[in-house]
Structure 1
Amino acid sequence: MIILTIDSKNKDIRLTSIGRDTYVDIPGYSTEKLNHSYAYEGPPLLLETINKNFGIPIDKYITVSFKSFMDIVDEIGGIEVNIDSKNIDIINSTINETYSIYNEDKTAASIKLIKNGGIQTINGYQALAFSRIRYTDNGYARDGRQREVILSAYKMLLKQDLPTIKEAVNIILHNCKTNIAPLEMVQIGIKAYNMKDSGIDQLEFPIASHREDIIKGEKGWVTEWDKEYNQKELKKFIYNYK
């Protein structure tokens, strides 16, 4: 779950990851992990939960499927990421699953696995596998990889010609769920494109120094958080960053 901030005043783009295990009050249910609100009733309840617990009045959303995620990455010519050598094996094992979603008709012999660590360009199904791993570290590290993917995709998009950009937009419009009208989405995209903000600032929420991962009985692992401090820092990052 990522909040996208497009700051027209400062010509700045920012990304805020919200930890899926953040312990929150879900309207109509109980105090549980944040991602349960999406599982229960989808985006409307997730937005209501975010608004109630974090004081951020969000009313727009976009959800992207695995398939469209991979198609977008391939359309812009792949993305450049830095792969830690310790993650190669888990990425390659996940690629077997993401490749089957990518194209069920191709044989396993066509799969391109990751051979080395370091900075490299990866394709759609490799990028999806890269975005999903967390068992070699933790969910916060995975959030960071997902932001890395978005930042790289944005940088790659800035290099593309108009036909490629139009096709990427077409893929997004036909393969996502959103309550944003197509024209408004295009207008937002043009605004973000024109900013050309290659140094997108990022935040992991709740803040590392003011959160604690604990086992909460039958709730399992959850993230307890200092509400006053975290709410203040989140609002500052989104609304009053500079």
Structure 2
Amino acid sequence: METRKQLRKKRKKKRKKGRFFLPVMIFLIIGVFAYAGTQYWLGTQISKDAEALNYNFENEFQGVKNQDGKINVLLIGVDSRGEEQSRSDTMMIAQWDGKDDEINIVSLMRDIYVDIPEYSGYKLNTAFYLGGPELLRQTIKENFDVDVEHYMIMDFVAFESMIDALAPGGIQIDVEKAMSENIGVTLEPGIQHLNGQELLGYARFRADSEGDFGRVRRQQQAIEALKAHVISFNGVLKAPKLLGIAQPYIETNMTSLRQIEIMSRILLSGGGELQRLTVPLEGTYSDARYEGVGAVLELDWQKNNAALKEFLE
């Protein structure tokens, strides 16, 4: 058995270690915040001359917070080209589950025929044109019964800028075929490293038999490649700077601190497993055409909503 003298010596050693450990931890925390703040500021300086998104939405976004701790963000990709109103080119629901360390991405096809609240039947991407992110949120809730807490609108210029800042050498993608029509770049088949403009062109290509379904598949593939790069050591270090660069090209109801918090939690958790879903599912829709609307996708709502609920819950 240990004597009282020996026990006292042990307690003194523990107290000394504690007195040393606490200042070191405080110093490290201050250092991390100082680094992140500096990198964020440097990012804002890179894009300080950029023309910021300037939407004036009449309706305030009424996001609904999940009770289970999961975070649902409505991602809206636009190619505004200076227009005050534009249809949403890309619509996704990104869900992060911090408990199980999972990231779920749902791509909603823009030609889905939906009921838009206070309007009639239109394509899903028309909801953003008519009433911004809040009307799109209401439309998604009414038709798919899914709530989202936040929204983030990103102009495609931001996508290009962030890729070039994150990966000056490009993002590795296996380009499955030659691509050039209506994407502003020419891509050849094979594994290669794509810069921002090239990766955006790859993600937007739809001049083949797959059409919009192929475009959505490539968007999800690009996101997965980006995630793998971001959670690398180099990507983690660049994350605050990327947020700074992207600020002029992004409009969101999240504060900068909230964005940094969510990104930090994802990165510190190791990035999480990424699961992908496209709505409508294969074999659960039919093609139709309506006067004044054009070609649309009519869904089997029961099958699609059941699959969507299972995927997100």
* Residue number among 218, 221, 240 corresponding to 1:145 in the alignment: 218
Task: Please tell me the root mean square deviation across aligned C-alpha atoms, in Å.
Answer: 1.7
Which position in structure 2 is the counterpart of 1:125? 197
Matched residue SS, 2:184: helix
The one-letter amino acid of 1:221's match is A
Question: Would the alpha carbon gap of residues 4 and 213 (structure 1) be closer, same or farther in structure 2, given more than 3 Å must change?
Answer: same
Letter in 2 for 1:126: E
Q: 2:293 matched to 1:202?
A: no
Specify the SS of the correspondent of 1:156.
helix
Residue from 79, 83, 98 that aligns with 2:175: 83
3-state SS of 1:48 partner:
helix
1:236 is the counterpart of 2:295: no
Q: Which is bigger in relative contact order (C-alpha 8 A, separation at least 6)? A: 1
Q: Secondary structure at the match of 2:179?
A: helix
1:1-242 residue pairs with structure 2 within 5 A? 1-77=91-167, 78-85=170-177, 87-90=178-181, 94-95=183-184, 113-114=186-187, 116-136=188-208, 137-159=210-232, 160=234, 163-197=237-271, 199-239=273-313
Kindly tell me the number of residue pairs found equivalent between the two proteins.
219
Contact 1:95 1:129 in 2 (8 A): yes
**How much has 1:163 moved relative to structure 2?**
4.5
Letter in 2 for 1:82: D
SS across alignment from 1:58: coil
Task: Report the counterpart of residue 85 of structure 2 in structure 1.
Answer: none
Paired letter, 2:290: K
Residues 117-153 of structure 1 deviation map (CA, whole Å, 9 limit, x = unaligned):
1221100111111121112131011011111111111
2:140 is paired with a residue whose SS is: helix
Q: 2:173 corresponds to which letter in structure 1?
A: V
Specify every segment of 5 or more residues in structure 2 that has no aligned partner in the other structure, as ranges. 1-90
State whether residues 230 and 236 of structure 2, in contact with CA within 8 Å, keep that contact through their aligned partners in structure 1: no
Return the structure number with greater helix share: 1
| Equivalent-residue separation in structure 2 for 1:178 and 1:117 (angstroms) | 36
Identity %: 27
Contact map agreement 1:12 1:195 (CA 8 A) in 2:
no
Change (3 A) 1:12 1:162: closer
Query: Retained in 1: the 8 A contact 2:165–2:242?
Result: yes
CA–CA distance in structure 1, aligned partners of residues 245 and 197 of structure 2: 16
- In 1, Cα distance between equivalents of 2:268 and 2:133: 28
Residues 162/219 of structure 1: CA separation in 2 closer, same or farther (3 Å cut): closer
Q: Which residue in 2 is equivalent to 1:100?
A: none
Matched-pair contact (CA < 8 Å) for 2:285–2:300 = yes
One-letter amino acid of the counterpart of residue 175, structure 2: I
Measure how far apart 1:215 and its partner are. 2.1
Residues 140-195 of structure 1 show CA distances to partners (whole Å, capped at 9, x for unaligned) of 11011111111111111122255422211212334201011111111111122123
Please say if residues 47 and 59 of structure 1, whose CA atoms lie closer than 8 Å, have aligned partners that are also in contact.
no
Deviation at 1:70, TM superposition (A): 0.4
